[in-house]
Chain A
């Protein structure tokens, strides 16, 4: 019977032992289903009692030119891959590539998040700080390579969820070592193999075809629930996904955090600002700044709101801005528009909307005193006020004060230019 099938099949299988091939054949051996449909070569299983016999048989088979499909052992047998003549697994390259990909991704991701998309100043370190990225790059590499290689290994070994492996020869999990051989040819028989392996004392040599179809009827001889183990696992897995999905989706209040797992640093115990505090000598929580401390970016002015100090400011303070700073000039015009035009008017001549309604008009900014005043004195006036003009220290930042002075200077320069030269 085998002979006739053989003729129909021809030599269908390639000589190589690639993973797919092994996987398919293995599945057909374990579960008795699948495998190459219809025609196939003769497959014979030799069972041994000792690991040395299996190794010897694998070497003998290889020497005789027989094709070893796979070996099944209760535990990993050292040197079996050499005896069977298996080539090195390519899984190491998968691991290498995944490791590189994980490290590369983490490198790019941290650069993008901390230097481009959302730069946060941490301890004054540069945004793109390689030393800070290294731990995450390292862990990302290990995680990607480790988990990825495991998943790839499961995939190429066809160990997928829901699959129910069943043993045709359960002894190989206990005390038997099986060698599955495959060959096309009329004289590849149980008897011939018995002769070949006589040195290795095989316990049993079985033609795989004789028991595989039978095995397919009752996959593993299990009764009751055991038969549905694979499907039960699959259902449980889907249930797990559903439960965790629903738990997430049906949170009562999406704005509240979920149940706090190890909340040790989430709920700190801060003191209220005006509560008593044992830590400080004066017993208060809110501490006054150290005398003489300065707020960040706030340079104190050592001037009083007097005319003399305004003149002194003109001598001592200089604008930090270059006269041709276009950006400052543009900003200055905006500030002028917002804070000055109400009284000084858009052109600086002093007839803004407020004086038009009867308020005493300020002197023109374009001639007279304003021209001879130095930048520093103007800054003093802007800060502390003069005459009817209140101080603008609270409204206009020091930088903007200099910007608006620059703008006023440009207005003055424009007014001084004879009208014929204007464009």
Chain B
């Protein structure tokens, strides 16, 4: 009876739709790469970082709840696991972006800019010089990506093994694993966002950058989780398992983390604004001029204004179709936020919206959708042998 849930998670049309989107996302950058690599590679970096973050946030979601001994999320466990499973494929995209980035993007690689930001008035920062050397950079990236994939693998293995043998030991092992992952994740994600995004402007630095990218990452991950869960629920696959209460919980998390994102965004902005010293304001100067400024404001509206005001009433968080719309807005905001982190460093003169941008936006959705589609098929959509399933189904706010 239950096995009927396994295959055909999405309708054929949905799969075809993702293939088309992914195709657009792959073809447009390839075409663009031949014409304007300066425009394409940042978009590729955005795409890679965006989908890696989605997988990671699902892993973070699972680890957080497992470490806290929560039970309500178990109804959503397999959805989040499928999202985490996309990390392998997403890491490949990220790796491609980094390799191309070393040729076209990072200013500290090129001989003309060699050592940029590594010495001030004669003093040489040997550590920064070492840190921003291509070999070490690639080595770190490989370690980060492999560590995340490895943790996702271990978590999923425990979950799938429990599905087979129903042993409680897997739950305990997952809990220990989650605690370890959270520690590793905190360090690696901070360093990864510093490496991959902040080093686009090697002179500039911000110690809050890691948590800034993290706050956005989790917002985006929750939005995707809401969208996927709502889609599967609509198709009847999660009916009776994922209830309004679960969507309410996800809505509250999205609401809370969009406030957290704004809090962190403002924390970074205010300190730079107050101190007003050139090394720090260098980040915001292009972003507040040359037509980037309206996008900066729009970014705040998408990532904070809309979810904050829309999800304030209780009813809004319990209305799944409404929640889905807000999740779409937040997802668009996620793309724009990353675009504003990356692109003004490459093109301070102003935004240049074109096929590459459309490609990276559509391509991220398409590629992630395809990877997810593939991952969802690997296991039952409901964790029948999880000791917390019953409790999760009866979850009540």
Contact = CB atoms under 8 A, between A and B. Distances in A.
B314 A131 contact: no
A134 B270 contact: yes
Interface in B311-365: 312, 314
Contacts of B270: 131-132, 134-135
A79 interface: yes
A79 B269 CA distance: 43
A92 B397 CA distance: 15
B273 interface: yes
Nearest to B266: A134
> Which one of B263, B274, B276, B314 has the highest number of Cβ atoms from chain A below 10 Å of its Cβ?
B274
A78 interface: yes
Contacts of A96: 312
Contacts of A65: none
B374 interface: no
> Which one of A88, A123, A131, A135 has the highest number of Cβ atoms from chain B below 10 Å of its Cβ?
A131
A92 B396 contact: no
B276 A92 contact: no
A132 B274 CA distance: 8
Interface residues of B, number: 11
Instruction: Name B's interface SS.
Output: helix
Contacts of A131: 266, 269-270, 273-274
Nearest to B315: A88
Interface string A120-149: 000111000001101100100000000000
Interface in A85-126: 88, 92, 96, 123-125
B230 to A, nearest CB: 23
A78 B314 CA distance: 17
Interface string A361-386: 00000000000000000000000000
Contacts of A88: 314
Contacts of A123: 274, 276
B265 to A, nearest CB: 11
Contacts of A78: 396-397
Contact of A92 (B263, B274, B314): B314
A54 B352 CA distance: 64
Interface in B217-274: 263, 266, 269-270, 273-274
> Which one of B263, B312, B396 has the highest number of Cβ atoms from chain A below 10 Å of its Cβ?
B396
Contacts of B396: 78-79
Nearest to A138: B263
Interface in B350-397: 396-397
Nearest to B245: A78
Nearest to B394: A78
Interface of B: 263, 266, 269-270, 273-274, 276, 312, 314, 396-397
Given A131-B274, A134-B270, 12 more contacts: A78-B397, A88-B314, A92-B314, A123-B276, A124-B276, A131-B266, A131-B269, A131-B270, A131-B273, A132-B274, A134-B266, A135-B270
21 contacts: A78-B396, A78-B397, A79-B396, A88-B314, A92-B314, A96-B312, A123-B274, A123-B276, A124-B276, A125-B274, A131-B266, A131-B269, A131-B270, A131-B273, A131-B274, A132-B270, A132-B274, A134-B266, A134-B270, A135-B270, A138-B263
